[in-house]
Each structure stands twice: as C-alpha cells, then as structure tokens.
Structure 1
C-alpha cells in the first residue's frame, strides 16, 4: 500500500526538545511512519540529517520557512526516490524540483491545517489526516483551485533552501559534491529579476559604469588605485558605514583567507561573524591583486601583507566613514561627467546622482541574493534579524 506523506516536525517549541544526534524524545507516531518507509531510503538517517539542519535554523520565522521546504525534500526522498539524501545526484534534485512544480493530488491539501492532533501524552499524538506537504492557494471567490500550480517565487525559495541544506552536508564532509549548487547558481528555478524599485541599489548598467570608470581613473593616475580598492572593499565585504570606522584599522590584505569553496573570509578572530563574510574571489583576483601589482607588493605573501584595505591616500591609518562618503560622491560626479561627455543622458533620477555609500552594500547584497542561498545571505547581512533580511532581499521577488 502506498504511504501517504506525513509531517515529521512540529512547532519550534516542540522541536526544541529534540536531540540533534539521537532519537530521544521523538514522537512515536513519527518513528512508526519512518520505520514503515522503504528501507533503501535509510529513512532514519535522512530524518536525522534534516533534523540537524533545522537545529541550526531553529529561530522564529526561519524555522517555519525552512521546515516546509526541507521536509518536502525528505518526504520525496524516502517515499518517491527511495534513496538516502546523501545519495542524491544533480539529476535527482532536478527531478525533485519538477515534482514540486506539479505534485500529485495525494501530496496536496485543500487548505492549511494542524500537522498533529493535540494530546496531553506524546504517545497519544496522531497525524492530522488532512495535512499534506503542499497546499492549494485560494482563487478568487475563495474557491479552491482544481490543480496545484507552483509559483516562481515558491520554486525559487524551495531551490534556495535545498541548496543550503546540501551545502551544509558538504561542509560537514557528509557528501563530496553539492548536487544542488550548479542548478541554484545558474538560477534555473529563480524568479526573473526585474529592476528593484523599493531599495537603494544601483542597477546593473549604473554599477558597471561606476566600476569601469574607477578602473579607468586608476589606469590614468595611480593615486586612484587606493580609491578603487577602498570602494571595492566596501562592495565585496558589504561594509556598513559604522564598520568602516570600527573595523577599518584591522582590515588588512593579510586578513583575507582562502576557503575551500574558492571564496575568501576574514580569518582573524577579532572580526564579528567570523567565517560568515563569504567574499567573492573576484575581489582578490581583480582588485587586491591589481593594487598589489601597481604598488609593487605582489612579491609579499598575502598572509604577510599588512596593507590596509581602507587605508588613507596620504598618511597612516584607515579612512573614516565621512571621508569615504566624500570620495564616493566625488567618484559618482566623475562618472556622470564622463557619461555626459560621451553622449549619454544621465537621468535626474539615476542612482549616480542620488546614491549614498550605503548603496554599494545594498547592491552587493542584492547581487548575492541572485546566486546564493537565503541562509548564506542572511548571515552576510550582519546586525539584522532573519525576517528583515528575508523581506529585503528575497520576499520582494514574489
């Protein structure tokens, strides 16, 4: 008899009592369901891996969102694919995403509801027979749609959480390849990316003009190499103005450490959120290496190069946020002048006329949200909760 997909995880408060590494305290009804699943899927092992993933995201808002998407993956894996999560290939992930786009009726509920029936004793808890991993959206007039239709925003979130889950397995050396990484990076399931009008960011053309003009200025006059490196640092490290003041004196080239996934991170303990900066390798290969070569420092090993990323053009020490803002505005004016002299009409509403230094950080985070998982972007934001980060960089796409 075909098994009906059942919920595996309760509320955040209930989940908090579970042990990540063991099966102590599990609901008997959940264990009975898992024990009846195909043995080839190693359901208990896969369940524990998902539970450990959710443990790392057991906080309000994030837990509820992640539970929906990763539980679907778990149930599909043990009931449809009938293989362990650690054995899934890229083709399997594609198959799962296709399943999510049009799940069978037996996986779709007419309306949302409780996962479990309430009971005083855990042994008496039962599944809500009407619960399913997917739920119909209400059409106009409160009529239930005849067929489940997955939206692009929902598929994008599903892909993002799946990629984050497999990335954690990869970082824990439980798999050798993240089967979702290439699909997620390619944006196969991401929503189309319209120009965002609700946040202070540069569009792609404006940002390209800014960086190309800066490089041209540095090519013509070596003194602008420092300006180019400074603004690239603000963009790639996603620095707030307060962080320029508080961290600038410690942000040296020697602090950049190469990670095994090819990105860079700040390896010094003094940086808050260590191992969560995830700096694109383009920053080092294009901007840091350029500066080192132009200033004759390419022969000094990275780990011994004490050059400040935010150093002053003249004198010692790091630049302050006020100076950085003035330099940034001067560069924007130069970009406008060069574009105008080349025959381009720069709109009065162009970001080049109205932008503040903060726009570099916001633009960088929006660019990151195109290719990175939601959890990775949330960690990059710093000094913001998960709900705010989700609303700013992901929810607007729906």
Structure 2
C-alpha cells in the first residue's frame, strides 16, 4: 500500500503549470508514479489543482484564505482515500463509496492522524519543496479525532460536490456522487453500523459520572459537574456546550454542584448575593471557552475509558465513549 504524501502546497505554487509544479515539488511525480495507471492519478491531480487554485487569493500574493485551505484539505483527503484505501480513480466513485469516504473522515485510522497540524512541504534552497514526512491528512488537538459537527460534515460535502461538478464540466466524469448528501444529517451516516455519534448512550455518560465521583484528586470536579449538567441532553457531551446560557439544574445535580463548589473552597450552597462565576479557568479567570469545556470533559472521559479497559471492557463497549471523548480533526 502506498505511503501517505501531501499533494498540494501553497496558494501561489498550486497554480503553476504542470511541468513547473512537479519541478518545484521533486519527489511528488515519483510518488504518483507508484500508483496503478488505471487510477489516472496525474489527470486527477491536474484537475484537482485547477479546482483548488480557484479558491486561492486573486492577487497572487500567496495568501491562503479559509476557503482555499478547506478545499485543499478536503480534496486532498478524497484523492488519497480513493487511491490508497479504495484503489480506485476518483472519477469512478459512486454514491455508496462517497458515503464510505464520509464515514472514513469521521473515524480515520491512527496512521492517518498526526499529533498536530504540520506543514505539508518544507522549502530547501536549490532543491524545491520536499514533502514533510511527519505530515498526515488529519491532525488531533488532544486525542484522536472524528467528524464531530454538522458544519464539518456539510463542509466536506459542499467542496466534494463542487469538485465533482467541476469534473463533470471538464468531462472527466459523468456523475456527482456527493449530490443530495447535503440534504442528510451527520447522524444519518454510519461508521461500522453505528451512528456517527458512535452510539453514545445514557449508560456511557453514567460511567463517566461514576468514575468521576470515585476520584479524590479534585482535578476533575469541573468536568464532573459539566457532564452532570449535560446528562439531560447527551448531545451536549457529543457536540460541546455552546456559548453562555442559564441552566436550571434538577435536584439530582445538586450533589455534583456541591462537590464542585467545595473543590473551589466555596460554601456548598451559594448565598443569594454571591457574585462568583459558575465556571472558571484553572488560573481564576471567569468563564470558559467552548474548546476549554471540551478539553476539560475529554480528560475525564479519557480517565473513564482507561478504567473500563483496565477492567476488561470489550472494545465495542468502550468505542462509543472513546469516540465521544475525541475532539474534532482540525482542517489543517
């Protein structure tokens, strides 16, 4: 199976004509030559570069707006997935295979995921752009990641649908397998016969609460409280809390609230005149960002997974919770 290799570089070089592009990226032509001729990788590469370059800065100053970066990431993943995983040319993919690509994007294998976002290529004087061996198509901010939100799903579908329309206009292919996917929701697609939210159930959340309650280090009291709040709407744990909102907690959450307040050195029950914020950073700043909340909860979920695995829980039991703790794969 061919190794992973970046295909597209910056906004300026991607618009070069074909001979100049490969001359500026020594090693890329050799990499592409390793695929079977039936995959038409060179034709797909040229079409993809033309499509992606249409999102580049019109002033040619090498700027990389978000639309260019996003289209580059999505199309690059599509091409590599088609060639390496399916051993098929991109223009021959059908509807069900595109569904497989969406599922793959929600849970890529570990060797497709880098620890952080890295440059695709590095410039070497008198040589050109050389592929960064540490680059991977996906990256993770904390844990392995997956397709977490409807907006990320729609982003992939939008760029792929536009790309296939582009290929149809160039008479490279006849059908657009990404069409009509924009009408679906992320929950309607599956990974290994499970919802893309990995089948997270109330039992999984109860396990997080059970493990969090048993901990005495005091490190996870904020996370325990947030998960307790989220339990009445499990999608909050999956999607992440959004913004600042007033939350009225049922009596069942009072235990967690009291634990959390005691961990901060506050009275169990807040006095009527108290001005203390509900959530604070570790440095005492009032309020938490959405990412901070996700990260805090992810730590506790990760501890829960470790305990479940130590007790011999089967992988199909921990998988939904493991995926729920994974933060989103950033579009690098």
Q: Classify 1:184/1:3 alpha carbon distance in 2 versus 1 (closer, same or farther; 3 Å).
A: same
Query: Partner residue of 1:24?
Result: 20
Any idea what SS the aligned residue of 1:121 has?
Answer: coil
Kindly state the Cα deviation for residue 187 of structure 1 after the two structures are TM-superposed. 4.3
Aligned match of 2:10: 11
- Kindly indicate whether structure 1 or structure 2 has the higher relative contact order, using CA contacts under 8 Å at least 6 residues apart: 2
Q: Distance in 1 between matches of 2:44 and 2:8?
A: 13
1:47-126 pair list within 5 angstroms: 47-59=45-57, 60-61=64-65, 62-123=67-128, 125-126=129-130
Map 1:1-398 → 2, pairs under 5 A: 2-16=1-15, 18-19=16-17, 22-26=18-22, 27-59=25-57, 60-61=64-65, 62-123=67-128, 125-138=129-142, 145=143, 147-152=144-149, 153-188=151-186
Between the aligned partners of 2:84 and 2:94, the Cα distance in structure 1 is: 16
Matches of 1:43 and 1:91, distance apart in 2 = 21
Deviation at 1:117, TM superposition (A): 2.3
Normalising by the residue count of structure 2, what TM-score does the alignment of the two structures yield? Answer: 0.50
CA distance in 1: counterparts of 2:68 and 2:54, whole angstroms = 9
Aligned to 1:91, what secondary structure does the other structure show?
helix
Secondary structure of 2:172's match? coil
Decide whether the 8 Å contact of 1:41 with 1:82 is kept in 2: yes
Give unpaired runs (5+ residues) of structure 1.
139-144, 193-197, 199-398
Report the alpha carbon displacement of residue 100 of structure 1 after superposing the two structures with TM. 0.6
Residues 270-322 of structure 1 show CA distances to partners (whole Å, capped at 9, x for unaligned) of xxxxxxxxxxxxxxxxxxxxxxxxxxxxxxxxxxxxxxxxxxxxxxxxxxxxx
Cα displacement (A) at 1:102: 0.5
How far apart, in 2, do the equivalents of 1:73 and 1:176 lie?
18
Q: Distance in 1 between matches of 2:92 and 2:102?
A: 16
Q: Aligned partners of 2:175 and 2:146: how far apart in 1? A: 31
Alpha-carbon distance, 1:189 to partner: 7.0
Within 2, Cα distance between the matches of 1:166 and 1:157? 14
2:153–2:186 contact (8 Å) kept in structure 1:
no
Structure 1's 48 and 189: CA in aligned 2 closer, same or farther, altered over 3 A? farther
Secondary structure of the structure 2 residue equivalent to 1:24: helix
| Counterparts in 2 of 1:189 and 1:166: CA distance versus 1, 3 Å | farther
Mapped to 2, the partners of 1:87 and 1:35 lie a distance apart of 19
Q: In structure 1, how many angstroms separate the alpha carbons of the residues matched to 2:30 and 2:13?
A: 18
Quick check: 1:155–1:189 contact (8 Å CA) kept in 2?
A: no
Q: CA deviation at 1:78?
A: 1.3
Quote the Cα distance in structure 2 between the aligned partners of 1:47 and 1:98. 23
* Per-residue deviation, 1:13: 2.3
1:24 Cα deviation from its structure 2 partner = 3.5
Q: Which has the larger radius of gyration?
A: 1
1:112 Cα deviation after fit = 1.0
Give the structure 2 partner of residue 359 of structure 1: none
Partners of 1:156 and 1:189 within 8 A in 2: no
Residue aligned with 1:25, SS: helix
What is the alpha-carbon root mean square deviation over aligned residues?
2.6
> Displacement of 1:3 after TM fit?
2.1
Task: For residues 53-83 of structure 1, give each alpha carbon's deviation from its aligned partner in whole angstroms, at most 9, with x where no partner exists.
Answer: 1122222412112101111001111111111
- Partners of 1:67 and 1:42 lie apart in 2 by 19
189 and 84 in structure 1: CA distance in 2 versus 1, 3 angstrom threshold:
farther
Q: 1: distance between equivalents of 2:21 and 2:131?
A: 17
In the superposition, the TM-score normalised over structure 1's length comes to: 0.42
